[in-house]
Structures are given as structure tokens and as C-alpha cells.
């Protein structure tokens, strides 16, 4: 059980996440229908679990696509340099698009994604993020659907990683300091 022993505290429980995702899906079901279906773009890797649970509660027909953006590597600090590692498979021209993100922290990543996708002329572009850390924002970015606001702490679980680990935890938690302090030195 060492994975769970590394967790200092749980910030958002599994039950809270599942309840909130149902509510977010309800907000989307009120906006989209089979007449104006969006393409859901999952930002890998962190948003895979959020996307998976979210889509189960959507009642309109929709397609999925995936984009992978460079991550923090083994650090808990953003480098500010954003790169596309995997691009969309299909064109988004004249299509409604919902970007599905795990967390908006400084806003660098989302700002890059929005600017990049806007050049491809989608019919509309909205953003859903499970977590929002507004206290860390450097760039203002529009977010349409937000699961939870979290404090300025590095969080893991429910898709979010530290050094590619802990994504499978069913809750959002904070690691014990001793787990990551060696990496940042």
C-alpha cells in the first residue's frame, strides 16, 4: 500500500468528484444536443479519467479526440514551455469543440492550446477543467466548466501525476513533502 502511504491528505474525495462530474455533465447537456454536438478534446495524459467519467453522463451524441501536451517532467514547477506531443487526428474547422483539461494552474498550457485551436477555425470553443488553481494564474484564460477550485498545492490522483505516478488514485490528494522534495533540488 505504499502508493496510498505517500498521500499526506485527501483534498477532494472520490464521492465528491463523481457527484460534481454529474453536475458538470448536466450543464453540458443543457447547452449541447444532437443538433449542435461538440467534439470533446481530451488533453493527455492528465484528463483521461475525467473524460472517461464525464462522457458517461452526456446524453448528446459526440466524438472524442486527443491531444498530448508536454508536461512538467519530474518537477512540480511549470517550465512555461509548452509543446504538442500528439496532435488531433481530425480537423476541427466549423465544429463545436470542448477542451477537457485536468487542471488550470498558471494558464500557460491552456492559453497555448486555445491560441493553437483558434487558428483552426472551430465553430465554437469551450473549456472544461476538473480543477482550477486561480491563485497561481499568470495568463488569463477563459474556463466554462470548472469542477473544483483547489489551493496552491501540488495535487495528484484522478489522472494527475507526480513523475508519472499516482494517476490511478480515485481521489485528489496532496503528497507528503518527502516524496517530491528530492526531485526539486
Q: Which residues bind ligand IMP (CB under 6 A)?
A: 46, 71-72, 78, 101-110, 154-156, 160
Q: For ligand IMP, which is the closer residue by CB, 24 or 130?
A: 130
Q: How far is the CB of 42 from ligand IMP (least distance, A)?
A: 11
| Strand residues in 81-179 grouped as ranges (E) | 84-86, 96-104, 124-132, 145-149, 155-156, 172-175
Q: How far is the CB of 61 from ligand IMP (least distance, A)?
A: 27
Q: For ligand IMP, which is the closer residue by CB, 32 or 103?
A: 103
6 catalytic per annotation = no
94 CB burial (10 A radius; 0-12, 13-18, 19+): exposed
Which of 87, 105, 161, 184 is catalytic? The answer is: 105
Give Cα separations from 147 to 55, 110, 133, 172 (angstroms).
14, 16, 11, 12
Q: For ligand IMP, which is the closer residue by CB, 32 or 132?
A: 132
Residue 88 CA to its chain's centroid (Å): 16
**Residue 67 host element (H or E):** strand 63-69
Q: How far is the CB of 133 from ligand IMP (least distance, A)?
A: 6
Q: Which positions are annotated as active-site residues? A: 105
Amino acid at each position: 500500500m505504499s502508493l496510498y502511504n505517500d498521500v499526506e491528505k485527501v483534498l477532494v474525495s472520490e464521492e465528491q468528484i463523481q457527484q460534481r462530474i454529474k453536475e458538470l455533465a448536466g450543464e453540458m447537456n443543457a447547452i449541447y444536443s444532437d443538433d449542435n454536438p461538440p467534439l470533446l478534446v481530451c488533453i493527455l495524459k492528465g484528463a483521461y479519467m475525467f473524460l472517461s467519467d464525464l462522457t458517461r453522463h452526456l446524453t448528446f451524441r459526440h466524438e472524442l479526440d486527443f491531444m498530448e501536451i508536454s508536461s512538467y517532467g519530474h518537477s512540480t514547477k511549470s517550465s512555461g514551455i509548452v509543446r504538442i506531443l500528439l496532435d488531433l487526428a481530425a480537423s476541427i474547422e466549423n465544429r463545436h469543440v470542448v477542451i477537457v483539461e485536468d487542471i488550470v494552474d498558471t494558464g500557460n498550457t491552456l492559453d497555448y492550446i486555445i491560441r493553437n485551436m483558434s487558428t483552426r477555425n472551430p465553430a465554437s470553443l469551450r473549456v472544461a477543467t476538473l480543477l482550477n488553481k486561480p491563485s497561481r494564474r499568470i495568463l488569463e484564460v477563459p474556463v466554462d466548466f470548472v469542477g473544483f477550485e483547489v489551493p496552491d498545492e501540488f495535487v495528484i490522483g484522478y489522472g494527475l501525476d507526480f513523475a508519472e505516478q499516482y494517476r490511478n488514485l480515485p481521489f485528489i490528494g496532496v503528497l507528503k513533502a518527502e516524496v517530491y522534495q528530492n526531485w526539486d533540488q
